[in-house]
Amino acid sequence: MRLLTHNMLACNIKGVTNGFPLGIDATRVETKEVEMNPDFLKHIFPKLRWEAFRAAAHSLGIDNLPEQVDSNMLLDEEFLQQFHHALLEVHLEEGALICPETGRRFPVSKGIPNMLLNEDEV
Amino acid sequence: MDIALDVVEGQPRATPLSLVTTLEEYRKPLLPSPRRKSADIRLVARHADVYEPCDDSFALVDALLADRANICELQPSVCLEVGCGSGYVVASLALMLSDRRNIRFIATDISKSAVETTRSTLAAHNLHADVLVADLVSGIESSIAGAVDVLVFNPPYVPTADDEVGVGGIASAWAGGDRGRVVIDRMLEVVDSILSSKGWFYLVTVTANNPGEICQIMRRKGFASRIVIQRSTEEESLHVLKFWRDGTNESSDPQSNGPLVSPSGRASFLQRSLSHRLSCLVSFKSV
């Protein structure tokens, strides 16, 4: 699971109002190199919730992302490379995602988050 | 309007034996051809609990291929397949749009095995997507609200007892409850909130689902519709329906399968005609 995926996941247990962003408890993290696609990065950047992305990257040991960002930074090759790496190359393979409100854990197994709820949570 | 399109792939189905010169060459890893416009069936992963690509999957991919020029024209940012199963459809969609490099693909399935299989199928085609185990769009609904430009759903449409729906295993892939509509109807409730203003929704149905009634339900939600592909087998009559917000453009080419809704008034006639045709089909089947 890439951090791009993490950025769109929220806990939707009935009654939960602050189910985003999910915390990360990482058991196994993998890095898989992929070709950089600046078009995709520029397209996704304005839609990304940066603070959540930065915090998620931090919990996987990536500390080089700036706190404040704006679209001009996408012209900077070094920033683009860091952004690309954290967003698309680092994969949470095993672990759990944790609801910030309830502490409910959503397992991540073989790189796939499981967002299914139990009957009493729907 | 009710065109039955069969899109013929440019690729040969299998390598002619005469071209296989050595065993080594025969054993060469199968790599997707860069010209390919749908997933290579030989690269689609399999699992005992996961629905393999079948007539309905092929009809859906053919419908998307038939509409490919329009989809490119739409310039989608987000494509989502709900119920991705083997991954054949989402991989095909990603391949047919591969010359547009800023599209985000998302795939969900209620079955963990299905999502794992989709992940393998995507990897085998060197494609990337966000994949997750979810009940329809649970866990992502708020993030993708109003953002999905192309939504694809091949639902569990086979009529069964209601308590067979979502019991897990491969039954989740086909058990559709009363008239095969239990999961379809839940999805229809979600479409309006997740589809973007210009977005399109492709849905596979069979006659037993009463596609005419589905179109009417969507009509009340403000969506126009047309049949992209209609196919009959001995078992069932398949339709791939397409929905879009009334008043938005559905096709870039007014000459081909023009929008059902136009300011000329031709619209309402065609709309009636579509509903009529579907109801005829339904009554024909039930005789």
What are the tens digits of pLDDT across the range B251-269? 765 444 444 433 333 444 4
Predicted pLDDT of residue B278 = 53
Chain A, chain B: beta-carbon pairs less than 8 Å apart: 76
Which among B75, B80, B101, B102 is the top mutation candidate for probing chain A, defined by the most A β-carbons within 10 Å of its own β-carbon? Answer: B102
- Which residue is listed with tokens 């038939």? B66
Chain B residues with CB inside 8 Å of A7's CB? Answer: 143
* d(CA A8, nearest CA chain B) in Å: 5
- Residue B87's domain comprises 17-286
Instruction: Report CB contact under 8 Å: A116, B135.
Output: yes
pLDDT in tens, A49-83: 999 999 999 999 999 999 999 999 999 999 999 99
The answer to whether position B9 is within a domain reads: no
Q: How far is CA B62 from the centre of its chain?
A: 9
What is the value of ipTM here, to two decimals? 0.97
With an 8 Å Cβ cutoff, the interface of chain B facing chain A consists of: 77, 101-102, 104, 106, 110, 112, 115-116, 119, 128, 130-135, 138-144, 147
Second-level CATH architecture of A3-104: Single Sheet (2.20)
- What are the residue ranges spanned by the domains of chain A? 3-104
The answer to whether position B49 is within a domain reads: yes
Q: Is B154 exposed, middle or buried (0-12, 13-18, 19+ CB in 10 A)?
A: buried
The answer to whether position B1 is within a domain reads: no
Confidence class for position A45, pLDDT limits 50, 70, 90: very high
Query: How do B223-232 and B78-82 pair as beta strands?
Result: unpaired
The answer to whether position B32 is within a domain reads: yes
Tally the domains of chain B. 1
Give the Cβ contact number of residue B17 at 10 Å: 7
CA-to-CA distance for B174 and B160, rounded, in angstroms? 9
Contacts 24+ apart (CB under 8 A), B274-277: B274/B1, B274/B212, B274/B215, B274/B225, B274/B226, B274/B227, B275/B212, B275/B215, B275/B216, B277/B1, B277/B2, B277/B212
The answer to whether position B3 is within a domain reads: no
Tokens (6 digits) for B150: 């192309």
CATH of the domain at B224: 3.40.50.150
Give the residues across from A90 on adjacent strands: A31
Residue in B closest to A7 by C-alpha: B143
CA-to-CA distance for B106 and B118, rounded, in angstroms? 11
The answer to whether position B278 is within a domain reads: yes
